[in-house]
Every structure is written in C-alpha cells, then in structure tokens.
Amino acid sequence: MENLEPEVTAALNELTQALAEHEIVKDYRSVAAKVARNSHLKELEEKIKEAQQEAVQFAHYGKPEAEKAAILAANAYTREYENHPLVISYREKLGLANDLLHFITENISQDVNQAVENRNKSKEAED
C-alpha cells in the first residue's frame, strides 16, 4: 500500500474506516467473536474432526461398520453445529457483509471503468 498515491491511500483508509463503522460489518464482527468464544461450538468442531478422522482410519483398516458409525456421529455433530443459533446468525451476518462488499466493489469497478473510458474518449478527441 506504500506504493500508492497519497490520494488513493487516503481514500482507501477512509473507505476501510467507513466499512468498519458500518452496522452490517459491526454485527458480523460481533457474532463472529461470539462464535469464536463459544466453548460448546469449539467442542463440537473437535468432535466432528475426531469422528471424521476415525471414519478415515476405520475405512483404512477395513472396518466398515465402525466407519459407518463414525460417519453417522460426524453427521450428527455437524447437524448440531449447523443448527446452533449462533452459527445460523453468523451465516446470515456473513451473507449480508459479503453482499455489502460485493456492492461496494461493483460500484468502485464501474466508477473506475467509466473514468478510464472517459479518459480514453478525451484522448481520442484530442488526436
């Protein structure tokens, strides 16, 4: 970022600050922090990982019944995780934040393309 023109750097810093203060981004960060601090969700993540690893090991050693049981356990833990209210809220907030970033990116892209097009037309008119 140190190679950018000062005006571009200032505009980028302003945009970054505005995004950080936007309600959608604040909501997302708040829920993300709650998810990260939730011990039950961390425990479920570990159980899912362990059950998946067990399933792979059982498959490797030719134990189809144990593999099937481990897969069922992993699926049950995954369903519990995905249906947790914090995870549901996190996904909703993430979707909104992504939509906001996409909207901003699209607008910036259109503005830049329009500026380049206008500059090219000006140069053609001068020639």
Task: Summarize pLDDT for 39-48 with one digit per residue, the tens.
Answer: 999 999 999 9
The token pair at 51 is: 């059950």
Instruction: Evaluate whether 44 touches 77 at the Cβ level (below 8 Å).
Output: yes
CA 74 to chain centre: 23
Instruction: Evaluate whether 85 touches 76 at the Cβ level (below 8 Å).
Output: no
pTM for the full model?
0.79
70-77 own/partner pairs: CB under 8 Å, 24+ apart: 73/47, 74/48, 77/44, 77/47, 77/48, 77/51
pLDDT of residue 14 exceeding 70, the answer is: yes
What confidence score (pLDDT) does residue 126 get? 76
Name which residue leads in pLDDT, 117 or 54: 54
What confidence score (pLDDT) does residue 54 get? 98
pLDDT of residue 8 exceeding 90, the answer is: no
pLDDT of residue 1 exceeding 80, the answer is: no
pLDDT of residue 63 exceeding 70, the answer is: yes
Helix, strand or coil for residue 1? coil
Identity of the residue numbered 116: V
d(CA 20, CA 12): 12
Helix, strand or coil for residue 31? helix
